Amino acid sequence: MPNPELEMVVAMLRSAPVFADADVATMRAGMEAFTASAPLADDIRLEAVDAGGVAAEWAIADASRDDCCILYFHGGGYVIGSTRTHRRLVGSIGRAAQARMLSVDYRLGPEHPHPAAVEDGVAAYRFLRAQGFAAERIGIAGDSAGGGLTMATLLALRDAGDCLPAAAACISPWVDLTLSGESMTTKAAVDPMVQRDGLDKMAALYAGANDRRAPLVSPLFADLAGLPEILVHVGTAETLLDDSLRLVARLRAAGVEVSLDAYEDMIHVFHAFAGILPEARDAIDSIGAYFRRRLTRPS
């Protein structure tokens, strides 16, 4: 049975404007406005940075180590969202992980269709390496489309022969832009945030003329061998549930070490509601502990 805090969040989301039929500018402004009420914690400082030609922002908690960092990709369907919309979530993960966070304002569709976002992800990772961070002290993480970009960036780095980061974490990742998962239908009634029509619109704006099944567009269909350890978080009340379940199955089949935490009754990227949901705070703590173990292992 959903708890009162979750019911509050679901009611808030269901009462929020739906932007599936809006233009891109309206959708972007809506997300910025919706997240503006989540203030940044006092122990997080921000520093704008040019990350190899990509606009980015350091989020550094008081407890962050100087030798560990996490590259973070925000969600928003590859069309909306920014470092601003995700500052609270990024800062909370960095505090829990005791690592510096580099949040990336990767280029968005439709102005910059695929592969612009992947190119920016690769450039930001190489920026971290050029700054002196050892690969075994770098993690990559992202939510929703940012989770898909996490996977696509790892694949692009692998294929280019780069030394891969120590670990990755995907929160409610969108890895199938063909929208073929059964949960797109079976979870539609309980998901207050993500629905097929909105995703289909964003997939078209991002993929452009590219095949939606292309490996770096929809990493679910890629050869996943040789990737580092990956943690996947997902809620059981989201239309993208099957993206996570199928991704984990394919990672395991490819011999990749992967862990799945499916949170009962939780919604898409519930971590963003840590100010209300105790489950979100627990999930962020879990991600932090995961990265603390992986990024501080002896070389």
Active-site residue list: 144, 238, 268
Alpha-carbon distance 72 to 1, whole Å?
Answer: 33
Question: What CA–CA distances, in Å, run from 239 to 59, 104, 188, 192, 252?
Answer: 30, 26, 6, 9, 22
Are the CB atoms for 105 and 83 separated by under 8 Å? yes
Beta-bridge partners for 65: 99
Q: What are the φ/ψ torsions at residue 29 (nearest 5 degrees)?
A: -65, -35
Q: Is 15 exposed, middle or buried (0-12, 13-18, 19+ CB in 10 A)?
A: exposed
Alpha-carbon distance 95 to 118, whole Å?
Answer: 26
Are the CB atoms for 34 and 12 separated by under 8 Å? no
| C-alpha atoms less than 13 angstroms from C-alpha of 93 in its C-beta half-sphere | 33
What are the respective helix, strand and coil percentages of the chain, to the nearest 5? 40, 20, 40
Of 107, 100, 104, the closest CA to residue 84 belongs to 104
